[in-house]
């Protein structure tokens, strides 16, 4: 077998896993507002169990009402939740996967949408940099009550039939808040020294062990470093891991980061694949229990190499299994080209959660809709035309073909991909092309006839012999309604990305949304001097949060001039006339690039 180590068994305590792929816990917002299991949540995990994963670690279950991190988060805080959890476990077990609960308290990191009269608590009254709410300092009696709450949640997990529990002590949540010198300034037995900062976690573990018994697997998830000056270092992570081993923990899941450095906790595509593996390797050097690695491990070759080199014993994958639940089965069968790739966009798996919505996936339309969007053979096959070869048209053509239809995909350009193709040209966005390459392979495999450089006109549609015509013709870039947009020196952002050789040395880029900011980044990398003009008070506000954070950092490093609260009034021979609160001026420019929005292409409707 090509991936012999990945598909070898592993014991976590007395629990035998059939392979070394574990589904990493990720919030979904599929529970109801009381924290109960729903049919949608069960469908989601059942689909991953069907795909052949060895262990499913479900999303965080809050152990106490004060620790609910967001709306529609799964609960482990009341006995009434046990029947729903039992049904989830039963269905996952029926498909041959093991399943672990995850015990969690958010502490100060509660999404504002979830507060609902609950004031955040923490070890100290220090606000999280992301949420910005100063929490109330826990009293000793409250800490003791929370330790008991973890024990009760462990008992409920056993009663529901889970095979293991994972204690979430990472990513800046409550236990991590106690561990970190950045968030714990207590001077009692739960703060001050390193040993005292460990005490909360130690007492939770001991209480859970008393509850579940000596043979029930208990795992702990840690951030081996916070990536913050003065915060937990890798050496601190190793010290924590040594203690965990001495306290009878059965496995350690090694992650990194906190909400202040969330780009390392939940990495966008700008962060290299496997970025946290060195942390797992460092922890594995100091413990004798299984260690799990995580962090954009999205292909089986990398996973196998990590295991073969002894850097970890278990591979935890989150978004890779969101993108393709069948990842393990396809890898085992050697069908690597058929794995639907996670590209680290964070559009559906992070951004939506912070907006209070349920998880989705940009590359997997069925994620979160496993039951109703299952692809089934069409009762009657038809001849189908799909007009437009962007990602929407490609996905539509593929699904129609998989249902058995005779599909032709029409595209006016000489390549597929539409706006995704252009987006993939920008720095740190190259992985978008990985998804387009996947779709292209699958279209050919499914027998879709692809017609490039073919303009479809109303007359051609009228004469078509297709029984169904689907319009996926996308959008076109808008031009500002100001004087001078017809000048030869004016390009759209799409044109600047596709034909950088047409762009002069000195560029004025009008429009500071995500497209404008990404295009500015691209042009600066090409050696252009760029000034970005935006009428709003901030740029790239429509960009996903972690992607935006890193993009703004790159724009600063490249010396791009940013003019906010500024409007373009006219494009002149010498540049762009701009207006702002203090007055007007002319920005000199050889080329003016417009990133001023798009409109739907409805010419064929």
Active site residues: 173
Would you say 12 and 164 are in contact if contact means Cβ atoms under 8 Å apart? yes
Two tokens at 442?
């699958």
Burial class (CB in 10 A: 0-12, 13-18, 19+), 356: middle
Q: For 180-201, give the DSSP string.
A: -TTT----STTSSSHHHHHHHH
Pairing of strands 575-580, 567-571: antiparallel
N-to-C CA span, the chain: 52
- Crossing angle (nearest 10°) for helices 140-160 and 194-212: 40
d(CA 146, CA 131): 22
Two tokens at 486?
């017809």
Residue with tokens 């409805």: 602
Residue with tokens 């920008």: 426
d(CA 305, CA 285): 17
Residue with tokens 């760029």: 530
**Phi/psi of residue 36, nearest 5 degrees:** -85, 150
d(CA 41, CA 517): 37
Q: For 201-258, give the DSSP string.
A: HHHHHHHHHHHH-TTS-EEEEEES---STTS--HHHHHHHHHHHHHTT-SEEEEE---
Rg of the chain's alpha carbons, rounded to an integer?
26
Would you say 80 and 35 are in contact if contact means Cβ atoms under 8 Å apart? no
Would you say 45 and 39 are in contact if contact means Cβ atoms under 8 Å apart? no
d(CA 295, CA 266): 8
Q: What 3-state DSSP class applies to 21? A: strand
Would you say 511 and 546 are in contact if contact means Cβ atoms under 8 Å apart? no
Task: Catalogue the E-assigned strands of 366-405.
Answer: 383-387
d(CA 429, CA 435): 11
Residue 292: closest CA among 567, 596, 25:
25
Two tokens at 533?
């003009």
Burial class (CB in 10 A: 0-12, 13-18, 19+), 476: middle
- As separate numbers, helices (DSSP H) first and strands (DSSP E) second, the chain gives 19, 26
Collect all residues with Cβ–Cβ distance below 8 Å to 437 and sequence separation of at least 6.
none
Beta bridge partners of 100: 57, 164
d(CA 360, CA 56): 18
Neighbours of 556 (CB within 10 A): 10
The CA-based dihedral angle spanning residues 423, 429, 430, 435, taken in that order and rounded to the nearest 10 degrees: -70
């Amino acid at each position: 077998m090509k991936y012999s180590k990945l598909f070898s068994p592993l014991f976590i305590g007395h629990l035998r896993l059939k392979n070394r792929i574990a589904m990493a816990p990720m919030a979904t917002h599929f529970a109801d507002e009381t924290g109960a299991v729903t049919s949608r949540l069960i469908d989601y995990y059942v689909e991953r169990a069907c795909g052949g994963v060895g262990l499913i670690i479900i999303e965080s279950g809050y152990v106490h009402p004060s620790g609910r991190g967001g709306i529609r988060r799964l609960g482990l805080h009341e006995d009434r939740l046990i029947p729903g959890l039992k049904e989830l476990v039963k269905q996952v077990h029926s498909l041959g996967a093991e399943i672990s609960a995850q015990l969690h308290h958010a502490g100060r990191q509660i999404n504002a949408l979830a507060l609902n009269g609950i004031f955040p608590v923490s070890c100290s009254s220090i606000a999280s940099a992301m949420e910005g709410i100063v929490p109330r300092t826990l009293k000793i009696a409250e800490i003791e009550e929370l330790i008991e709450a973890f024990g009760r949640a462990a008992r409920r997990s056993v009663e529901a039939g889970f095979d293991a529990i994972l204690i979430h002590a990472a990513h800046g949540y409550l236990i991590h808040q106690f561990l970190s010198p950045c968030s714990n300034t207590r001077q009692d037995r739960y703060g001050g020294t390193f040993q005292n900062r460990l005490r909360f976690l130690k007492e939770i573990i001991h209480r859970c062990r008393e509850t579940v018994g000596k043979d029930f697997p208990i795992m702990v998830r840690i951030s081996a470093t916070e990536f913050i000056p003065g915060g937990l270092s890798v050496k601190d992570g190793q010290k924590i891991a040594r203690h965990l081993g001495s306290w009878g923990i059965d496995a350690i899941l090694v992650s990194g980061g906190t909400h202040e450095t969330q780009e390392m906790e939940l990495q966008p595509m700008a962060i290299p694949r496997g970025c946290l593996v060195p942390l797992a390797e460092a922890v594995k050097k100091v413990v004798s229990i299984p260690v799990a690695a995580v962090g954009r491990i999205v292909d089986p070759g990398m996973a196998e190499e990590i295991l073969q080199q002894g850097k970890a014993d278990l591979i935890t994958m989150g978004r890779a299994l969101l993108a393709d639940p069948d990842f393990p089965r396809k890898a085992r069968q050697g069908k690597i080209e058929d794995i639907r790739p996670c590209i680290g966009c964070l559009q559906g798996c992070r951004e939506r959660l912070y907006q209070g919505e349920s998880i989705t996936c940009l590359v997997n339309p069925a994620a979160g809709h496993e039951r109703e969007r299952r692809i089934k053979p069409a009762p009657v096959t038809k001849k189908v035309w799909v007009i437009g070869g962007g990602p929407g048209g490609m996905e539509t053509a593929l699904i129609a073909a998989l249902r058995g239809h005779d599909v032709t995909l029409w595209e006016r350009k000489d390549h597929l991909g539409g706006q995704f193709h252009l987006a993939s040209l920008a720095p740190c966005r190259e992985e978008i092309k990985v998804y387009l390459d996947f779709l292209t392979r699958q279209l050919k495999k499914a027998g879709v006839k692809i017609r490039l450089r073919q303009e479809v006109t109303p007359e051609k549609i009228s004469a078509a012999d297709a029984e169904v015509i689907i319009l996926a013709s996308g959008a076109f870039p808008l031009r500002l309604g100001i004087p001078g947009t017809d000048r030869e020196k004016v390009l759209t952002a799409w044109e600047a990305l596709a034909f950088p050789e047409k762009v002069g040395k000195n560029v004025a880029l009008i429009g500071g949304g995500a497209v404008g900011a990404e295009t500015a980044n691209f042009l600066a990398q090409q050696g252009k001097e760029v000034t970005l003009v935006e009428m709003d008070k901030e740029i790239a506000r429509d960009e996903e949060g972690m992607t935006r954070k890193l993009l703004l950092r790159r724009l600063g490093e490249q010396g791009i001039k940013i003019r906010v609260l500024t409007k373009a009034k006219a494009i002149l021979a010498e540049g762009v006339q701009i207006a702002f609160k203090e007055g007007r001026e002319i920005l000199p420019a050889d080329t003016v690039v417009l990133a001023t929005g798009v409109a739907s292409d409805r010419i064929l409707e």
